[in-house]
Amino acid sequence: MDDTLAVELEEVSYTYAGAPAVHGVTLRIKSGDFTAIVGPNGSGKSTLVKVILGLIKPDSGSVRVFGTDIERFRDWHRIGYVPQVSTGIHAMFPITVGEVVAHGRYTGFSPFDFWSRKNGADVDSVLRAVDMMDFKRRRIGELSTGQQQRALIARALIRKPDLLVMDEPIAGVDAQGGEEVYMLLRQLRESGVTILIISHDVGAVMREACTVACINCTLLCHCPPHELTEDDLVRLYGFPVEVLHHGVHHDHHAHGEDAPRHDGFDRLAHR
Amino acid sequence: MPTAKTPPATTGSTGSRTADPMPAILQYEFMVRALIGGVLVGALAPVLGTFLVLRRFSLLSDTLAHVALFGVAVGFAVNVYPTLTTFIAVTIAAVVMELLRSRGRLPGDAVLAVALYSSLAAAVVVISAAQGFNVDLLSFLFGSILTITELDLWLLAGLAFFVVVGVTAFFTELAQTSFDDALARVSGIKVDWVNLGLAVLAAATITLAMRIMGVLLVGALIVIPVLVGQGVTNSLRTAIIVSSIVGIISTVTGLALAFYRDIPGGGAIVLVAVAMLVLSIAWRRFRRRSS
């Protein structure tokens, strides 16, 4: 067991409807790292995240979170999860943004919650952080997908997690909203939170993440973004791609790396 | 109910009939029992219904009501208190359906359809093998305010206690599980246990509510007041309270209509609830246009 590891997967495989969704994945994510999982649609990214969170049980292999086997893991307050909400939340669900965020404080059975009108300063604080304070009393199902996404991010943040897992957090969010989400993630990373994110926004994750895990049923590579080659991306997406590198800046102090870092792959396209 | 409705004559010291300040509906024990039962059922059914509707599992109540018919038929066939056999049948069905649904063995709606038709078929076979339909069995089918016993009321009161304590104590767990069960699991909530508990409470509620509502209409009281509550408020807590109030108003008004207009109680209750739903939709539209 390595205490510096937030997530450890060892030869994890999962089969769905007779076809392997994830096969033989071994992945280690260090505490404090910002790791992005990228891959084409149906490549097993969301399945892998569900396995990590214990939502589905792998057919084989082991999963440890903060050194504990996920089946015996009880420190759920250390994990914040933002699911994909691209399909939206049912408009008729009578629950306000404030209530959804307050639910994020859950740490265990609390029999008098129903009678408590506590909707404290911590709710307001995280809502302000995601610029959703004006929507606190609005029904979450009536908001846009991007606003719902930000509400769920606030719900995850209120838990003050050590590990934040996000499944396509900027799906449905406009460019400015997406940039605000990444700014928030930068701040969280600076405060030591381990971040695991699934994203199709390759350019942004190359710019923001410490490491990138390329998944297409198997783990094709797991490395810092600057080590990722075009060949890796071709193997990942299955077609030749053109990657444009823009700007170089240095910000790997937290990981003791001196190598300059590319500002990102601003464009990923068919050649 | 013409014979049961004839009011007892009240005579004064002179022997002449005097006006009784108590409304006629309250002068009959069976109506008082029906009203007490109606208030309890009207308050309880939408509380559990809220969480069923939010999970898009509204038809569970209808399916369980058909299973209840099988339970009633077995009770009559083996000469055992039908509420007991019904409760056992409905609880087993609710738990099995929940297990099948949660483990993904069958899609949720397919589970409901299989349970509904198989229990209805089994009920028909049991009824046919016994004596066929009789008045008591029909009262379970369509509900009867005349047949509510003191034992039914005590059972309802006990259930009310458990539902109120259960739902308020586990409100956060129920709300989060209904909202998104994956989020709930990652928050550390034992989602499978919460779902099973809800299924058992729903089974008990349907068993007792069908004495008033009847097997065929009990699902309506679980779903319609909830839709009113969901439509008029943004908060889950308030929606539950509003739904309960709508349930109580529906049952009391419906029972009063049944008494004074001589119409079936279950039908009257559901029609009142539907009228309130229509009014709530109209009010919502009016409010949207004016805002």
| Contact check, Cβ <8 Å, A109/B179 | no
Question: How does the average pLDDT of chain B come out, rounded?
Answer: 83
Model pLDDT for residues B196-213, shown as the tens digit of each residue: 898 888 888 888 888 778
**How many independent structural domains does chain A possess?**
1
Domain span holding position A189: 5-89+160-270
Would A137 be classed as within a structural domain? no
Chain B residues in contact with A139 by the CB 8 A cut-off are 234
User: Does B128 touch chain A if contact means CB atoms closer than 8 Å?
Assistant: no
Chain A residues in contact with B233 by the CB 8 A cut-off are 94
Would A120 be classed as within a structural domain? no
Which segments in chain A show pLDDT lower than 50? 1, 245-271
Would A100 be classed as within a structural domain? no
CA gap A27, B174 in Å, rounded: 35
Angle at B209 between CA B207 and CA B211, to 5 degrees: 85
- Judged against a pLDDT cut of 80, whether residue B42 lies above it is answered with yes
Percent of chain B with pLDDT over 90: 25
Structural domains in chain B plus CATH codes: 27-219 (1.10.3470.10)
User: Does B236 touch chain A if contact means CB atoms closer than 8 Å?
Assistant: yes
Would A165 be classed as within a structural domain? yes
Residue A79's DSSP bridge partners are A163
Would A123 be classed as within a structural domain? no
Say which of B167, B186, B230 has its CB closest to residue A94. B230
Q: What single DSSP character describes residue A254? A: G
User: Does B180 touch chain A if contact means CB atoms closer than 8 Å?
Assistant: yes
Residue B11's DSSP bridge partners are B17
Say which of B54, B168, B230 has its CB closest to residue A115. B168
Say which of A76, A96, A107 has its CB closest to residue B235. A96
| Contact check, Cβ <8 Å, B187/A93 | no
Would A63 be classed as within a structural domain? yes
Here the CATH number for the domain that contains residue A199 is 3.40.50.300
Q: Which of A248, A247, A268, A244 is nearest to A259 (CA)?
A: A248
Chain A residues in contact with B229 by the CB 8 A cut-off are 94
Angle at B242 between CA B236 and CA B246, to 5 degrees: 140
Q: Which of the two residues, A14 and B134, has the higher pLDDT score? A: A14
Say which of B180, B185, B188 has its CB closest to residue A108. B188
Would A101 be classed as within a structural domain? no
Residue B43 near residue B247, CB atoms below 8 Å: yes
In this prediction, residue A255 carries a pLDDT of 41
| Contact check, Cβ <8 Å, B172/A115 | no
Chain A residues in contact with B180 by the CB 8 A cut-off are 83
Residue A47: its H or E element:
helix A45-52
Model pLDDT for residues B67-118, shown as the tens digit of each residue: 988 988 888 888 888 888 988 999 999 888 888 877 766 666 777 888 888 9
pLDDT tier at B235 (50, 70, 90 boundaries)? confident
Would A54 be classed as within a structural domain? yes
